[in-house]
Amino acid sequence: MAIEMFDLAGGDEALRFSPYCWRTRMALAHKGLDVATVPVRFGEKHKIEFSGQKLVPVIRDGDKTVSDSWAIAEYLDSAYADRPALFPAGSKALTSFVRHWTQTRLSLPLMRVMLMDIYETIDPADRDYFRTSREQRFGKKLEEMMAPEEGRTAFNAELAPAREVLKEAPFLNGDAPAFADYCLFGIFMFARGVSPRARTLLDATDTVYAWRERMLDLHNGLARNAPGKGA
């Protein structure tokens, strides 16, 4: 039976743009596991009430429920140990470094590029919740957070370590992708999901650009074939 995955959805239910859900989607494909996704809009948290918390992604594998993209990856490596590893032996702490780097250094500059694009992507019924929660978090109006040029410049500056590694190896993990790659890739799938600006986020000569192309092609083009405003 396919694993159920509860996945953040936009006003157009086909648009899936959560960076954390994309980590999980790619992780399931990496493991070669069948998946049936269940769209969850911001206003549909009741769909994941059974998980005992309020955030996607959540997976249900038979009678096992796991939430949080990192915990899901750990579960998959443990439950499906005979399939390609998401955390190759001895690499978990360094993978976590890349995870935290994406969350602490890349998210904010990207918000400055495309916060209003998210607002327009989500279901109209979700917009008040989104505006109130984000304006509280940032201490500013959504519109005041926007500074696309500065955001793009800062985002590209922060990508420097990935840019250098990708001059040495095809993937952040080395010769083959692993969860570290999916952590960064989630950021780009978020951008691709919500914004036409995703197309111009990177220079075409950037090693990160070439890597993103390789990531889009993985697992039979799973990510490339996903609907997105920046596709």
Which residues contact a second copy by CB under 8 A? 88-98, 100-101, 103-105, 158, 160-162, 164-165, 168-169, 171-174, 180
- For a second copy, which is the closer residue by CB, 83 or 100? 100
**Shortest distance (Å) from residue 169 CB to a second copy:** 5
CA distances from 74 to 46, 56, 59, 88 (A): 25, 16, 12, 11
Cα–Cα distance measured from residue 53 to residue 62, given in angstroms and rounded to the nearest whole number: 19
- For a second copy, which is the closer residue by CB, 121 or 173? 173
Neighbours of 216 (CB within 10 A): 18
Q: How far is CA 123 from the centre of its chain?
A: 19
Q: How far is CA 16 from the centre of its chain?
A: 9
The position carrying tokens 């206003």 is 43
- For a second copy, which is the closer residue by CB, 162 or 191? 162
**Shortest distance (Å) from residue 71 CB to a second copy:** 13
Say what angle helices 69-79 and 19-30 make with each other, to 10 degrees: 10
**Shortest distance (Å) from residue 11 CB to a second copy:** 33
Structure token digits, residue 205: 């000569």
**Shortest distance (Å) from residue 217 CB to a second copy:** 19
- For a second copy, which is the closer residue by CB, 70 or 130? 70
